[in-house]
Structure 1
Amino acid sequence: MKGFGFRLENLRENAGYTKTELSKLLGFSPNVYGTYEREERSPSLDTVCKLSEIFNVSVDYLICGKDDSKHNYKDNRFENILQVIQYFKKHGIHSPFIADIDSWNGLPAEAFHDLEKFFYYVVYKYKTNKRNY
């Protein structure tokens, strides 16, 4: 996977993550992600898929460096945020908490991790329940 570490480093820096943050996001101890960037260790296919989702690039781009239409991650992330706000409005929340900058300011990292866990819990709960909501 020649150049894999270089691509990871560029994607991480452009996305504003630290190596430690990505290790935690992937469920690893703090220094594991750095070994991928230094190409001391190769990630599993599952990890490559997770990285592809985090950076919004194809697995092919991560492994081979082949550019694709999905590689424009900055614009996609902005568009995704706008879509999330539209989902809130669609369901009757016209001033979504996600856009309340003053409330986000000063929250500790633990609060963001708690919100992430709760979000995925709710997604799992409603996607595994066969009833329509």
Structure 2
Amino acid sequence: MNIGKQIADLRKQKGVSRDELGKEVGTSGAVIGRYEREEITPSVEIANKIAKALGVSLDYLVGNTDLELTDKLMNRIKEVARMTEKDKDYVYTLIDAFIAKNKLKGLV
């Protein structure tokens, strides 16, 4: 997926106008429209601001990964990283249990 389509899709999913997104990242709605139509390409700095404004990683925005790492998920990962090894193991056990549960649902 190209970055322009990704920006447009994410912006629409979030219910944000081009003008609102432009204001948040320090540009205009018209420029956001040009990014979306692939007329111009945002700088890395602006692309990073757009990603943050839309709540995704820069890698996800530019299509380097299809894994959407939202700010919410990244904050939780950071919190787990600060835990003791014992607490991390407990969190991993809980996550593994939910993964197994969801896999079983898929078999039914």
Q: TM-score, normalised by structure 1?
A: 0.49
Structure 2 counterpart of 1:43: 42
Which residue identity does 1:59 align to in structure 2? L
Q: Which residue of 1 aligns with 2:97?
A: none
Q: 1:3 matched to which residue of 2? A: 2
Q: Which runs of 4+ in 1 moved over 2 A?
A: none
Which letter does structure 2 place at the counterpart of 1:18? Answer: S
Q: Does 1:18 align with 2:17?
A: yes
Higher relative contact order (CA 8 A, sep 6+): 2
CA deviation map 1:40-67 (0-9, x unaligned): 0100111111111112211111112522
- Structure 2, unmatched stretches of 5+, are 74-108
2:39 is equivalent to residue 57 of structure 1: no
Report 1:1-133 matches (<5 A).
3-71=2-70, 76=72
**CA deviation after TM superposition for structure 1 residue 38, in Å:** 0.4
Which runs of no fewer than 5 residues in structure 1 stay unpaired?
78-133
Tell me how far apart the structure 1 counterparts of residues 43 and 22 of structure 2 sit (CA, whole Å).
Answer: 14
Q: Which amino acid aligns with 1:20?
A: D
Judge conservation of contact 2:60–2:68 (CA < 8 Å) in 1.
Answer: no
Amino acid at match of 1:31: A
Structure whose alpha-carbon radius of gyration is higher: 2
CA distance in 2 between partners of 1:3 and 1:52 (Å):
14
More helix by share: 2
For the 8 Å contact 2:14–2:54, the answer to whether it is kept is yes
TM-score w.r.t. the length of structure 2 is: 0.59
